Structures are given as structure tokens and as C-alpha cells.
């Protein structure tokens, strides 16, 4: 694919109580943000199995965004704290392996932060646009039926 035609494809895992509602607010407030994210709604950022992130990268997304409630605001009290530990160890490990720093990014977005959500998506997609299409750790045999469009 020619680079100027290429658009980054970003998968966003959003916690239903905060970040998903924040994305909703960005929409209802008519705030513009890059259309590169595909949202997957999860009950909590602690629900995100690191396998989700790895599988997404392997299936060829250019970046992954993980977003949950601010510390202290978790609907389940501690879910985002547990998720935070998984995220920090995974991020360090992926960097160590040599997967481009920035392919997987993390944010806290509350239900009241529609503008912040738009800003985060902009920053994430700018960074991933600069990195270019994901090449490492991508399935080369081709799409598996029913997984990619």
C-alpha cells in the first residue's frame, strides 16, 4: 500500500463506565477527532487480557489504545489498578522485544472528558501515523476468515 493512501487502523479497548462514556460524550458534543479508531467496549480496563492486545497486533492493526477510568474511580473499585499492573509489565516487555514503542498506548478518560478523549485519539493516531504501517509481528499468510474485513 502506498504510504500516502495508508490510514492507520487503531483498535481501542474502552471501559464501559468511563472511557466509552467519554467517547460517547465526544460524539454527542460534536467534537471532531480522527476516524482511525475502532472501539471495543469492555466492562473494565482490568478485563483486558493482554492476549487481546497481542492478537490485535498480530492480526494487523497498526496500534492499540487501552483506556479506562482514572485511578480511584473504578466502578469495581480496583479493576483499573489491576489493569494498570498488567499494562505496565506488558508495555515494558513489548518494548524490550523491539515492537515499536507507541504501537500500544494507554490513557485514563472519564465519562466527563469528551474533549480529552478526542485529544487522546488525536495524539495516538498522530504517533501511529508517524510510525507507519505495522510490519513486525503481523500475520503474513493473510486474514483469517471472519476476523478481518
Name the H helices within the chain.
Answer: 19-28, 50-58, 79-97, 114-131
CB of 107 to other proteins, least distance (A): 4
Name which of residues 92 to 121 contact other proteins (CB under 8 A).
92-93, 95-101, 105-108, 120
Identity of the residue, 41 or 85, whose beta carbon is nearer to other proteins in the bound complex: 85
Q: Residue 40 in 3-state DSSP?
A: strand
Neighbours of 79 (CB within 10 A): 21
Q: Does 145 bind other proteins (CB under 8 A)?
A: no
Taking residue 15's Cβ as centre, other Cβ atoms within 10 Å add up to: 31
Window of 1-9, 13-21, 28-36, 52-60 that interacts with other proteins by CB under 8 A: 52-60
Map the footprint of other proteins across residues 22-41, applying CB under 8 A: none
The phi and psi torsions of 71 (rounded to 5 degrees) equal: -55, 135
The rounded distance, in Å, linking the Cα atoms of 54 and 115 is 28
Number of residues that bind other proteins (CB under 8 A): 40
Give the binding site for other proteins (CB under 8 A): 50-51, 54-55, 58, 71-72, 78, 81-82, 84-93, 95-101, 105-108, 120, 123, 136-141, 144
Amino acid at each position: 500500500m502506498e504510504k500516502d493512501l495508508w490510514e492507520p487502523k487503531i483498535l481501542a479497548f474502552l471501559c464501559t463506565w468511563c472511557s466509552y462514556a467519554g467517547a460517547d460524550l465526544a460524539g454527542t458534543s460534536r467534537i471532531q477527532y480522527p476516524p482511525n479508531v475502532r472501539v471495543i467496549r469492555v466492562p473494565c480496563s482490568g478485563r483486558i487480557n493482554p492476549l487481546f492486545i497481542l492478537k490485535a497486533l498480530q492480526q494487523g492493526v497498526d496500534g492499540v489504545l487501552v483506556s479506562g477510568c482514572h485511578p480511584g474511580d473504578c466502578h469495581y473499585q480496583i479493576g483499573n489498578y489491576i489493569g494498570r499492573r498488567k499494562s505496565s509489565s506488558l508495555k515494558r516487555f513489548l518494548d524490550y522485544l523491539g515492537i515499536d514503542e507507541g504501537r500500544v498506548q494507554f490513557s485514563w478518560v472519564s465519562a466527563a472528558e469528551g474533549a480529552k478523549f478526542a485529544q487522546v485519539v488525536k495524539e495516538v493516531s498522530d504517533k501511529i501515523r508517524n510510525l507507519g504501517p505495522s510490519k513486525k509481528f503481523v500475520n503474513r499468510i493473510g486474514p483469517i476468515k471472519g476476523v478481518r474485513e
